[in-house]
Amino acid sequence: MIHFAVQNSWLIPLMPAIAFAIIVFFLRRTPQASAFFSISCISVSFLLSLGVVAGVLMDPAAVESSVTWFSMPGLTVEMGTLIDPISGMMVFVVSLIALLVQIYSVGYMENDPGYSIYFAYQSLFAMSMLGLVIANNFVQMFVFWELVGLCSYLLIGFWFYKISAREAAKKAFVTNRVGDYGFLLGILFLQIIFGTLNFTDLAQIIPTYANVGLLTVIALLVFTGPIGKSGQFPLHVWLPDAMEGPTPVSALIHAATMVVAGVYLIARAFFLFAAVPTALQVIAYVGGFTALFAATIAITQNDIKRILAYSTLSQLGYMVMALGVGGLTASMFHLMTHAFFKALLFLGAGSVIHALQGKQDIWEMGGLARKMPITTKTFIIGSLALAGIFPLAGFWSKDEILLAAQSNGFTGLYLIGSLVAFLTAFYMFRLVFVAFYGQAKPNNDPHESPAVMTTPLIILGLLSVVGGLVGMPWLSTNFGSYVYFGEAHHGYSLMIMVTSTVIALMGIYLAYLMYYKKTISASAIANRFKAIYTLLYNKYYIDEIYQWGINHIVDGAGRVAYWIDLHVVDGVVNGLAKGTRQSGTILRYLQTGQTQHYGMVLVAAVVVIILLLGLLDPSLGISAWGGGN
Amino acid sequence: MDFITNPGFPYLSVILLTPLVGALALIFVPREEVWTIKAIAAVSTLVSLILSVLIFLAYDQTIGGMQFKEDILWIKDLGVSYSLGVDGISLPLLLLTNLIGFSAVYASWNNKDRVKEFFILLLILITGVMGTFVTRDLFIFLLFYEVVVIPIYIMVIIWGSTKRVTKEYAGMKLTIYLLIGSAFLLAGMIALYVNAYQLTGVRTMDIESLMLVPFTEHFQIIGFLLLGIGFCTLISMWPFHSWSPDGYAGAPTAVSMIHAGVLKKIGGYGLIRIGLFVLPAGAKFWAPLIAVLAVGNVVYAAVICLVQKDLKYVVGYSSVSHMGYVLIGIAALNVISINGAIAQMFAHGVMAALFFAMIGNLYEKSHTRNIPDFGGLANQVPRLAVGFMLAGLASLGLPGLASFPAEFTIFVGAFGVYQVFTIIAISGIIFTAVYILRMLGNVLFGPRQQQWDKLTDLKGPEWVPLIVLGTVLVTFGIFPYLLMDPINTGVTSLFARTGLSTVIGGGF
Amino acid sequence: MTITLNHYLLLAGMLFCIGLYGALAKQNAISILMGIELMLNACVINLVAFNRFMAPNHLVGHAFGLFVIALAAAEVAVGLALVLTVYRDLLSVNIQDFDWLKW
Amino acid sequence: MSVSAIVFWIIAAVILGSAISVVTAHNLVHAAFFMVLTFFGVSGLYVLLEADFLAVVQILIYVGAVAVLIVFGVMLTQRKEMAQTNAFSRHKWVAAFLVILLQILFGYAVTHTPWLVVDEAAPDTTVGLLGEMMLTELVIPFEAVGILLLVAVVGAIILTKGARRIL
């Protein structure tokens, strides 16, 4: 079974693909059947992925297989599978979360007219994401990379009759495309220079390649893909808007799996980045900046999903930063734990939104703790995990990141990371205190969600508690023994552990004072720092700047080009036509209507032709006419 | 597949002439028998389609080269013969023509105006386009090309639609552009013919024989210029592109489909088979210029798409933009890029035809193509929306649909030769995403609008274009080797014969 | 001095040129017709002379001479009819008044 | 100088003189008569060339039919003083230049071409031979000429009478 799963890992993405096809073609009118079928298929994938994980744990050596997708002299594009600890971990996380989210969706999407097609999209997404993580080469990665982007587009715009959803979906796709542009260029460079896009082959060749400058360019180009997909600054703008989609979608795609594809890509291609320290530094600072940037925005937002979205951005920044400072293990570890608790938080938020018939503003909530005990408990577990409180999952992984930053000499980033930890704890508990413990609103009638929704919450809650233990530094064989680049190393620093926990607790305490006890007035602080508050509340006006750029620069270029097309290019064409007509108007006066003029022209022409033929070219000349035969 | 490789049976002639026979049969059908007329048109295109699919499958890739050859000497003194044959380059385009021809018949199913004449002209048009792809003779090539132009003019003038420009203007522009192009072609071909005669003493119009003639470099440069202007006009290279959006906007659905889908590809096909392989030195001389203009095509047309309000103009300019990729692939002059260019022609043909079929269907029912008039159509016409989405996603090069492998191959091929141009050209994928998604979003998504509740969704025969073309897009997207392998056999063997270097020149 | 083919040909050429001059330089439509008759006669002289000097026993030249004469008769009939028709409308036979074919 | 040569020169003088007079005469009727004289001269030339049937036909058709038709034409169109009816148009000098140029070219061509002249006697009578030829070898042109004449007749009638009044 384990051997079978490892050898035939292509079946893992295939199952949801079958589900997608069957639902689209046969089960569109039977919602229950499509949900059942979709969940069955993803369950099979999950079981197979368990087999894969077991196989990897037994033998961490990479297992690769591939078929040719198309080929020609000088270019061979393959589709294949590469199973090693990193992809094994990803397969497990993705199929697990996908399974839980699909189960949750049965309850959440109840009575939605697009129920069947929702599950079709979910299956398509699962297929694409699983295909992405087991990819053994860049093209396959790119193919599924784009496909998850498509699924994201479709699912953000799932309620397409909402203008906001439509715009958000478009924004997500286009922003990602900008990143993909760079990614594609990077792939092309690799193909041209090395003639292969296979990860294993490239890992062999690249360290021996001498032109570091070019390699840096390539690495940065490839990095633009993750900037788009994982919402790093400056292409982060799509992720908060993506919350227009159904909440389970946000949990699955925009928190736990798709957005970490960028991080995963960097990890997968770490051999490329490891060869160019400059690129790694850029990555580290971009990640660190994004983490801080998003966290500062999160503290002023009021929409429950947007807070979580900015939190996701911030955590993604964390992971990217971890990669940048060389902590591949830390990054992947955080990726996994983050998937657990962020999915949990989103599903919890979904449960709240479901209970409140679509309200998302945290100030319209309040007093949910008594009405929705399971949701509240799991949500708090998730928040604590995110804040990094011992011994929950987030604590271990965040600690690893901070340790990596500090021990590799990035003190600045270490400080930023600590600050972000503080902010994270603060905004999460701001959310918790306001939404769950605040004044209950009279016109709300919340009630606990059905079991089909709470069960995934409980499972994820458990994972958020214990999921981090696999990475405990004191274990002799832990997460880092499998997932690493170069050499595995085990180390820990009690100082960092203690400080980060203290910082997180401070954040929670501050939130407690401001939003539970209300001993510190939040609005007073907001008024005191009006300018900063407005800036943060409006997300640094990045969206407005981009919108202005699109409206004026891009569309402006379009208008200019169209003007040129109509008046210059077509102007020349129509001008030629007009010129032809006008020259006709003038030249027609040569037609005098006088037969004798025509006759004289005719005779003159005869004379000229005789002269030309007979005198200028003697070989065709008059003398040759003779004889008759 | 043994039965089809029977060498005696003239498959290509049957494929080529079945629509023509259909057209002749239609002459004798009374004009009131609308159903019979449509049935005859559908059956004759279906026969061609089935046969061309069989040929596509039966083509022996291990042997490669021209297969299913037929030769009948026609004009002995000029060396013209009715010689047919397909290789890896023309095979996909033949299939494409028949796919689109068949779909076009169904896309015109609701046509009520002069049905008989319409289908007669349509069938002649399909024959003409097909003829250019299956012939091995330069003269016959030009003959079929000229056959194409006239039906198009008549169809645009009679069945076209007047929006920004009148249909008369559109038809005239289209026709005159095509004729100017063909005038250059004629000049170039005569030059080729005469020069080959002077060099070898044999009068021949056979393309493969002409490939072996040792033209001087000087002549090649001039000859390629003439042919290049002709073909590049046809493929709508900047600045010879302005016929394309106006023409498509004015033309009836079926003509737009065939025109954008296949006719344009005659330009690329000719550029490769005649321009590139007969006059390699000329191609090498002019390639950088083509590359520059191709980049212009891609970016310029894509940017223009952003501000278009008419659905057909968006797709019209978008096809100009996509042809830029084909051109840059051709200009890069290596096996990979040319494989990609041909695959892109195929993929774009299917996608553009699907787009026009869907737009035509929508226009027929709503009588407008103005994007701001629409909104939320996915509420009322979900099947039509699926068609739009499929075409749109193919247009922006989504993996899993046929255009991705093609574009990727072009990029790989071109990138080694023209780094900067290719980098600029690839930025087209961003603009494409913007305008396609903007269009799809504004038309299909958003709040339900009461005024469109009366629209009926695709049903009955209207399904056919979506099913046929959609299936092709998905099949060749998931299994690109089905398309890439035959193309590769054709291109590689031709490269081997002309002695062009097959490797991509590394700039590093 | 014997009369050779060249003499006939030169004579016919001169007659032709005189007729042509009449056709090109006269105002009156009828005199143009006369010029054309002279040109046709010159042609027939050529035909007959060639026949006489180059193939005396095969009378194709004569036969074509006859055809030309028949043609000339037809031409003059139709030509005069045209002139008369135009004359009825314009009350003129001045060829310079017949300019309906101008722009 | 043989007799035939003398006759040739005389006839040539008559033809050219009268032809020039056709063009230069001021009176259209005089021009028509000079044309008749030219036709007679040409007929004489045919006799010299031993084309007896053609000589007769020339007189019959040209003098008998064409010239008469033309005179009728003159009578039907010229109702005023006849003295200045045959004027030149404005561009007579251009025409003269062109015609002289053409004549020079003719002369050059004629004199510089080595004609393949055979020295054979002509048949005594040509009528029989011509008749046979017309009905065998040249039957199709012959019929065509017949049709042409018919068409010309119908055309002339329609032109002069007007189509509507006839049909």
Q: Residue A490: its pLDDT value, please?
A: 66
Q: How far is D102 from chain A (nearest CA, A)?
A: 6
Task: Give me the CATH number covering residue D27.
Answer: 1.20.120.1200
Q: Residue B504: its pLDDT value, please?
A: 46
Q: Are B403 and B347 in contact (CB under 8 A)?
A: yes
Average pLDDT over residues A542-552: 87
In Å, how far are C38, D14, D50 from D44, measured between CA atoms?
Answer: 15, 10, 10
- The three-class DSSP label of residue D122 is coil
Structure tokens at B102: 């068949």
CA-nearest of A167, A10, A31, A7 to A80 is A10
Beta carbons of A593 and C23 less than 8 Å apart: no
Residue type present at position B403: S
A615-629, B37-51, D113-127: the lowest-pLDDT one: A615-629
Q: Are A238 and A84 in contact (CB under 8 A)?
A: no
Residue D139 lies in a domain: yes
Beta carbons of C101 and A588 less than 8 Å apart: no
For B111, phi then psi, to 5°, come to -60, 130
Q: At what angle do helices D92-111 and A595-610 cross, to 10 degrees?
A: 30
Torsion of CA C5, C6, C7, C12, to 10 degrees: 90
Categorise residue D19: left if φ over 0, alpha if ψ from -120 to 50, beta otherwise.
alpha
The neighbours of chain A, by the rule of 3 or more Cβ pairs under 8 Å, are B, C, D
Q: In whole angstroms, what is the distance from residue A360 CA to residue B164 CA?
A: 46
Q: Do chains C and D touch (3 or more CB pairs under 8 A)?
A: yes
Beta carbons of B426 and A173 less than 8 Å apart: no
- Per-residue pLDDT band for A123 (boundaries 50, 70, 90) equals very high
Q: Which of C17, C100, C103 to mutate to test the interface with A (most CBs of A within 10 A)?
A: C103
Minimum Cα–Cα distance from A591: chain C residue: C102
Torsion of CA C44, C49, C52, C53, to 10 degrees: -150
Residue D89 lies in a domain: yes
- The three-class DSSP label of residue A347 is helix
Q: What is chain B's pLDDT, residue by residue, as a tens digit (508 residues)?
A: 445 555 678 889 999 999 999 999 999 999 888 999 999 999 999 999 999 999 999 888 888 788 888 888 888 888 888 999 998 899 999 999 999 999 999 999 888 888 999 999 999 999 999 999 999 999 999 999 888 888 899 999 999 888 888 888 888 888 888 888 889 999 999 999 999 998 888 888 888 888 888 888 899 999 999 999 999 998 888 888 888 888 888 899 999 999 988 989 999 999 998 888 888 888 889 999 999 999 988 999 999 999 988 999 999 999 999 999 999 999 988 889 999 999 999 999 999 999 999 999 999 888 888 888 888 888 889 899 999 999 999 998 899 899 999 999 999 999 888 889 999 999 989 999 999 999 999 999 988 888 888 888 888 888 999 999 999 999 999 999 999 999 998 888 888 877 665 444 433 4
How many contacts, defined by CB atoms under 8 Å, are there between A and C? 31
Q: Do chains B and C touch (3 or more CB pairs under 8 A)?
A: no
Residue D105 lies in a domain: yes
Residue D9 lies in a domain: yes
Structure tokens at B221: 């440069």
Q: Are A162 and B476 in contact (CB under 8 A)?
A: no
Q: How far is B245 from chain A (nearest CA, A)?
A: 11
Q: Which residue pairs, CB below 8 angstroms and at least 24 apart, start in A495-501?
A: A496/A399, A496/A402, A496/A403, A496/A406, A497/A390, A497/A395, A497/A399, A499/A418, A500/A388, A500/A395, A500/A398, A500/A399, A500/A402, A500/A418, A500/A421, A501/A388, A501/A389, A501/A390, A501/A395
A442-456, A502-516, B101-115, B440-454: the lowest-pLDDT one: A442-456
Q: Is residue C58 over pLDDT 50?
A: yes
Q: Are B355 and B391 in contact (CB under 8 A)?
A: yes
C91 Cβ under 8 Å from any chain A Cβ:
no
Beta carbons of A593 and C99 less than 8 Å apart: yes
Residue type present at position D97: F
Beta carbons of B427 and A184 less than 8 Å apart: no
The interface predicted TM-score (ipTM) is 0.78
Residue D166 lies in a domain: no
Structure tokens at B265: 């590809």
- The three-class DSSP label of residue B447 is coil
- The three-class DSSP label of residue A71 is strand
Q: In whole angstroms, what is the distance from residue B175 CA to residue B51 CA?
A: 31
Q: In whole angstroms, what is the distance from residue A446 CA to residue A451 CA?
A: 15
Range of the domain at D118: 3-161
Q: What is the pLDDT of residues A11-57, one digit of tens each?
A: 889 999 999 999 988 888 888 899 999 999 999 999 999 999 888 88
The separation between CA A216 and the C-alpha centre of its own chain, rounded to angstroms, equals 23
CA-nearest of B447, B441, B453, B443 to B380 is B453
Instruction: Give contacts of A 120-149 with B, CB under 8 A.
Output: 139, 142-144, 146-147
What is the enclosing helix (H) or strand (E) of B102? helix B90-107
Structure tokens at B477: 């997207």
Query: Between C1, C7, C31, which is nearest D1 by CB?
Result: C1
CA-nearest of B95, B192, B97 to B142 is B192
CA-nearest of B238, B240, B412 to B321 is B238
In Å, how far are A248, B91, B140, B385, B499 from B136, measured between CA atoms?
Answer: 59, 13, 8, 41, 20
- Per-residue pLDDT band for D18 (boundaries 50, 70, 90) equals very high
Q: Residue B507: its pLDDT value, please?
A: 39
The total domain count for chain D is: 1
Q: With pLDDT > 70 as the criterion, what percentage of chain D qualifies?
A: 96
The whole-model pTM stands at 0.85
Q: Which residues on D lie below 8 Å from A596 (Cβ)?
A: 89, 91, 95
Sign of CA dihedral B259, B264, B270, B273: negative
> Going by DSSP bridges, is the β-strand pair A63-72/B80-86 parallel, antiparallel, or unpaired?
unpaired
Sign of CA dihedral B492, B495, B499, B505: negative
Q: Are B344 and B410 in contact (CB under 8 A)?
A: yes
Q: Which residues on C lie below 8 Å from D65 (Cβ)?
A: 73
Beta carbons of C99 and A592 less than 8 Å apart: yes
Q: Which of C6, C99, C100 to mutate to test the interface with A (most CBs of A within 10 A)?
A: C99
In Å, how far are A309, A331, A338 from A342, measured between CA atoms?
Answer: 10, 15, 6
Q: Residue D40: its pLDDT value, please?
A: 93
Query: Between A70, A211, A569, which is nearest B484 by CB?
Result: A70
Contacting residues for A563 by C-beta, under 8 A, at least 6 apart: none
Query: Between A588, A600, A628, which is nearest C103 by CB?
Result: A588
Residue type present at position B353: A
Q: In whole angstroms, what is the distance from residue C13 CA to residue C43 CA?
A: 8
Q: Which residues on A lie below 8 Å from D109 (Cβ)?
A: 610, 614, 622, 625
Q: In whole angstroms, what is the distance from residue D23 CA to residue C32 CA?
A: 9
Q: In whole angstroms, what is the distance from residue A493 CA to residue B156 CA?
A: 78
CA-nearest of A304, A307, A310 to A353 is A304
Residue type present at position B422: T
The neighbours of chain B, by the rule of 3 or more Cβ pairs under 8 Å, are A
In Å, how far are A106, A246, A333 from A110, measured between CA atoms?
Answer: 6, 12, 34
Sign of CA dihedral B48, B51, B57, B58: negative
C68 Cβ under 8 Å from any chain D Cβ:
no
Query: Between B239, B398, B430, which is nearest A150 by CB?
Result: B398
Q: Residue A477: its pLDDT value, please?
A: 76
The secondary structure of A451-485 as a DSSP string is HHHHHHHHHHHHHHHHGGGGG-TTSSS-HHHHS-S
Beta carbons of A592 and C54 less than 8 Å apart: no
CA-nearest of A341, A311, A366, A365 to A507 is A311
Q: In whole angstroms, what is the distance from residue B114 CA to residue B107 CA?
A: 16
Q: Are A396 and A337 in contact (CB under 8 A)?
A: yes
Average pLDDT over residues A281-305: 90
Query: Between D31, D95, D102, which is nearest C31 by CB?
Result: D31
Q: Is residue A388 over pLDDT 70?
A: yes
Q: Residue B106: its pLDDT value, please?
A: 92
Q: At what angle do helices B335-366 and B463-478 cross, to 10 degrees?
A: 160
Q: What is the pLDDT of residues A204-231, one digit of tens each?
A: 888 888 888 889 999 999 999 999 998 8
Q: In whole angstroms, what is the distance from residue B449 CA to residue B398 CA?
A: 30
Q: How far is C23 from chain D (nearest CA, A)?
A: 9
Q: In whole angstroms, what is the distance from residue B153 CA to residue B164 CA?
A: 18
Beta carbons of C52 and D66 less than 8 Å apart: no
Q: In whole angstroms, what is the distance from residue A588 CA to residue B50 CA?
A: 55
For B308, phi then psi, to 5°, come to -80, 150
**Number of CB atoms found within 10 A of residue B3's CB:** 8
Residue D167 lies in a domain: no
Residue D109 lies in a domain: yes
What is the enclosing helix (H) or strand (E) of B250? helix B243-250
Q: Is residue A626 over pLDDT 50?
A: no
Q: Residue D163: its pLDDT value, please?
A: 62
Q: Which residues on C lie below 8 Å from A603 (Cβ)?
A: 20, 24
Structure tokens at A313: 């951005």
Residue D98 lies in a domain: yes
